[in-house]
């Protein structure tokens, strides 16, 4: 896509732009609504646990936890909010943020693409249908290409950069789940094929097998719903982790990442998600979802049973409830004459 919109320096933009933000309700209200929503959907029995990655098949369908983290640093938790699971595709927006911060927003868009495919997360057809063979960083093909752009001369250099970056987003040292990594490496031939297809179109920027390996490690990092909420709140807080106070990425990077999330974060169901929830979010096959309310905070949920598109059933329902009850929906407004 031409850079006709890119006539403003990003640093200048960060320094002078006006923003539309607000704040979460009172802490007691946030915790009470989080607990109410968790209780409402705890017994929901819809969905099935992912089994195409063998190590994920043993997850209990009963696990259900959630957390909210505000940009002022408040942390609210319920249920299995501290239970650790592999991050899977929820890693994609954060690695994309690291790459945008490293390359710049325009170069990242040129190399990766930012438009929604409307097709499943592991679609090969989406690559073939695109004239320039780019997709977007939230589906597997675009995510592997994103990981190939991570700074580093070797696969180990790139992996260290990714793990350090994800840890900074979470505000603590994260670690890989070796069992999940080994399980995924034994069953990820489709991702390897996607990487080689992209390479044939000059849309891989590192050795395709090595990039796929780093991407697989990235997806195997262990997190909790609370970690996801902290990570999402860092994007909501203009790139500053509200718990640690560390700047992780630039404010201009965050708005680019959130824009892509809004259109592609839940794959072919992204339109339904935006219609119902009104917030950018990202799901993963372990049952995690992160949802970001810019300027306010983020919601992290974890529940393994998934719908047919690979999104957590309970997580979606709880997030919609919280978006409505906490006033998070970006598209909700109140007529001026009805305001107090």
Domains and CATH numbers, the chain: 21-329 (3.40.710.10)
pLDDT of amino acid 1: 40
pLDDT of amino acid 3: 46
pLDDT of amino acid 92: 97
pLDDT of amino acid 147: 97
Q: In terms of C-beta density within 10 A (0-12 exposed, 13-18 middle, 19 or more buried), how is residue 149 classed?
A: buried
pLDDT of amino acid 6: 47
User: Coil, strand, or helix at residue 48?
Assistant: strand
pTM of the model as a whole: 0.91
Separation CA 244–CA 111 (nearest Å): 32
Tokens of residue 27, six digits? 């802490």
Sites in the chain below the pLDDT cut of 70: 1-20, 116-134, 336-337, 339-340
In the numeric block, the tokens 């404010």 are attached to 251
Separation CA 306–CA 10 (nearest Å): 38
Distance from the first to the final alpha carbon of the chain: 45
Q: Is the CB of residue 92 less than 8 Å from the CB of residue 257?
A: no
Give the list of residues 6+ apart from residue 189 with CB closer than 8 angstroms, or none: none
Separation CA 78–CA 31 (nearest Å): 8
Write the CA distances from 17 to 64, 71, 74, 179, 235, integer angstroms: 39, 19, 26, 45, 16
Give the list of residues 6+ apart from residue 99 with CB closer than 8 angstroms, or none: 108, 112, 137, 146, 149, 150
Closest alpha carbon to 251 in 294, 299, 282, 289: 294
Widest CA span in the chain: 61
């Amino acid at each position: 896509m031409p850079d006709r919109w890119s006539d403003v320096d990003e640093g200048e933009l960060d320094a002078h732009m006006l923003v539309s933000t607000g704040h979460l309700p009172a802490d007691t209200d946030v915790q009470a609504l989080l607990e109410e929503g968790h209780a409402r959907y705890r017994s929901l029995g819809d969905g099935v646990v992912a089994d195409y990655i063998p190590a994920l098949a043993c997850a209990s369908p009963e696990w259900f936890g959630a957390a909210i983290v505000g940009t002022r640093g408040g942390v609210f938790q319920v249920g299995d909010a501290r239970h650790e699971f592999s991050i899977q595709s929820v890693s994609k927006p954060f690695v994309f943020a690291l790459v945008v911060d490293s390359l710049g927003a325009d170069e990242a868009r040129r190399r990766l693409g930012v438009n929604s495919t409307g097709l499943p997360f592991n679609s090969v057809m989406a690559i073939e249908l695109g004239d320039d063979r780019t997709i977007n960083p939230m589906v597997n093909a675009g995510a592997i290409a994103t990981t190939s752009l991570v700074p580093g001369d070797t696969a180990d250099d790139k992996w260290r950069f990714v793990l350090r970056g994800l840890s900074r987003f979470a505000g603590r040292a994260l670690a890989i789940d070796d069992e999940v990594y080994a399980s995924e490496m034994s069953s990820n031939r489709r991702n390897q094929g996607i990487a080689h297809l992209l390479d044939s179109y000059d849309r891989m920027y590192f050795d395709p097998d090595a990039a796929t390996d780093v991407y697989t490690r990235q997806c195997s990092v262990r997190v909790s719903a609370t970690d996801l909420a902290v990570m999402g709140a860092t994007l909501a807080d203009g790139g500053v982790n509200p718990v640690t106070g560390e700047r992780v990425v630039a404010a201009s990077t965050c708005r680019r990442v959130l824009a892509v999330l809004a259109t592609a974060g839940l794959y072919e169901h992204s339109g339904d998600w935006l219609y119902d929830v009104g917030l950018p979010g990202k799901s993963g096959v372990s049952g995690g979802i992160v949802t970001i309310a810019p300027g306010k905070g983020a919601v992290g949920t974890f529940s393994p049973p998934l719908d047919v598109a690979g999104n957590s059933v309970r997580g979606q329902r709880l997030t919609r409830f919280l978006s409505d009850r906490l006033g998070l929906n970006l598209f909700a407004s109140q007529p001026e004459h009805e305001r107090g």
